[in-house]
Amino acid sequence: MKCDRHNTPVRRQQKISPALSRQIIRHLLTWFSKNARDLPWRRTRDPYAIWVSEIMLQQTQVATVIPYWIRWMTALPTLANLADAPQDRVLKLWEGLGYYNRARNLQGAAKMIVNEYNARFPESFAALLELPGIGRYTAGAICSIAYDQPTPVLDGNVVRILTRIFGIGGNPKEKVTNTQLWSLAEGLVQTAARIRLSCSHLNQSLMELGALICTPHHPSCDVCPVRRHCVAKRDDRTGELPNLGPRIKSTARNFFALIIERDGQFLVRQREAGAVNAGLWEFPNAELPRATLTNSRSIRAVAKSQFHIAITKPNPLFQIRRSVTRYHDTIEVLRASITSKNALREKPWRWLNLDELNAIALSGAHRKILKRLKDGANAAHCF
Ligand code: SF4
């Protein structure tokens, strides 16, 4: 059959009958019962522990999250511990995961739960949505996984599975398709509840299938529990679903960072409240056009205007690269000495030795710089 306007084959979506939903749910649950990974947060129903895992897992691989989650739950085993912890400690526990606002929101929400709910974790989806950093996905995940409520989840994994199973060709970021996908996810979890099957396991089975079988580039359709119901497999469309539209172009940025040492101590500053990575520590740094990145006059001028320090001619040490969302950054790390009389004793500046730097929370790129400095110091010590 052809579409009249474009004379192209019509891409049919699958009709979703209650019987089909029930079959898909049963296949998913049977598969999950045999194949679910033994993850530490799956051994608990504590909503606080599940919440922490869900926030850590956003845009981060499971293998990376496991040691972070264990360290966090050992240091701050209860919601009240998190609410009472100094922010520096919270950021240090999060150090390396990126998106530090998530750690700040976790603590902000923990304080609200302690103050407004007498430290009892809310069980209502609507109440969870009122907390900072908790959106529809996270509230749905907590309510279903911790309390077995029929609340849907829709993350990248679930989007991929639903668009493929049901042959949905619209862009999931567009409102109409997004609404359709939420309603499909909701229909499945509510059907599971109606036939008295586990909403928690159903949502986790969708997430798990997306992580292990229905992967973005090479889905393992031959061993997929829902292969007999999947439009993408039947029509050979796994490469085109989900339809995420054109890729956003990446942007290259260039920074310099200054290593300024005095009597074994290094000059660092704490990022201000409201800034990206607020509360984290870093070496003095700024963005510059690529052409002026190794121009000592430009760097000395920026040091004077932005950091209010006079420095000697900077010498290149090494480069660090990082990727943050669509940005690909190169950081030219340079060594210089301070020539101004100003001792920089005031906030946000501090002089810290290597051990002290190790104990505070640095952003990922500055942690890498510190590691290179320590490696260099150890090598110098050995020879
Ligand atoms: S059959 Fe293939 S495309 Fe369809 S849900 Fe399973 S893994 Fe994904």
Pocket probe for ligand 1: among 31, 230, 237, 241, the residue whose CB has the most ligand atoms within 8 Å is: 230
Alpha-carbon dihedral angle through residues 257, 258, 261, 265, given to the nearest 10 degrees? -40
Find, among 256, 345, 241, the residue nearest to 298 by Cα: 256
- Residue 287 is among the residues annotated as catalytic for this protein: no
Is residue 153 lining ligand 1, measured as CB closer than 6 Å? no
Contact 352, 263 (CB under 8 A): no
Pocket probe for ligand 1: among 14, 165, 223, 237, the residue whose CB has the most ligand atoms within 8 Å is: 165
Q: Report pLDDT for 121.
A: 98
> Phi then psi for 284, rounded to 5 degrees?
-55, 130
Is residue 104 lining ligand 1, measured as CB closer than 6 Å? no
Strand pairing class (349-352; 327-336): unpaired
SS3 state of residue 191: helix
Helix pair angle (47-57, 62-75), 10° resolution: 140
Q: Which H helix or E strand runs over 215?
A: none
Distance from C-alpha of 324 to C-alpha of 40, rounded to nearest angstrom? 28
Region of residue 113 (phi > 0: left; psi between -120 and 50: alpha; otherwise: beta): alpha
Is residue 224 lining ligand 1, measured as CB closer than 6 Å? yes
Is residue 231 lining ligand 1, measured as CB closer than 6 Å? no
Find, among 362, 373, 367, 355, the residue nearest to 270 by Cα: 362
Q: Report pLDDT for 1.
A: 40
Place of tokens 């500055």: 366
pTM: 0.86
Q: Report pLDDT for 3.
A: 38
CATH of domain 18-234: 1.10.340.30
Distance from C-alpha of 301 to C-alpha of 311, rounded to nearest angstrom? 9
Q: Report pLDDT for 343.
A: 56
| Catalytic residue from among 54, 95, 208, 282 | 54
Secondary-structure percent of the chain, ordered helix, strand, coil, rounded to 5? 50, 15, 35
Q: Does CATH place domain 251-382 in 3.40.50.300?
A: no
Q: Where are the domains of the chain?
A: 18-234, 251-382
Distance of CA 71 to the CA centre of its chain: 17
Helix pair angle (18-35, 175-194), 10° resolution: 80
Residue 86 makes CB contacts below 8 A (sequence gap 6+) with none
Mean pLDDT by 10 residues, the chain (383 residues): 40 78 98 98 98 95 97 98 97 94 97 97 98 98 98 97 98 97 97 98 98 97 98 97 92 96 94 89 94 86 91 95 91 92 70 95 94 78 40
Distance from C-alpha of 375 to C-alpha of 364, rounded to nearest angstrom? 17
Distance from C-alpha of 204 to C-alpha of 353, rounded to nearest angstrom? 45
Question: Do the domains 251-382 and 18-234 match in fold?
Answer: no
Distance from C-alpha of 23 to C-alpha of 27, rounded to nearest angstrom? 6
Is residue 230 lining ligand 1, measured as CB closer than 6 Å? yes
Omega prior to 348 cis, within 30 of 0? yes
DSSP assignments along 80-123, one per residue: HHHHHS-HHHHHHHHTTS--THHHHHHHHHHHHHHHHSTTPPP-
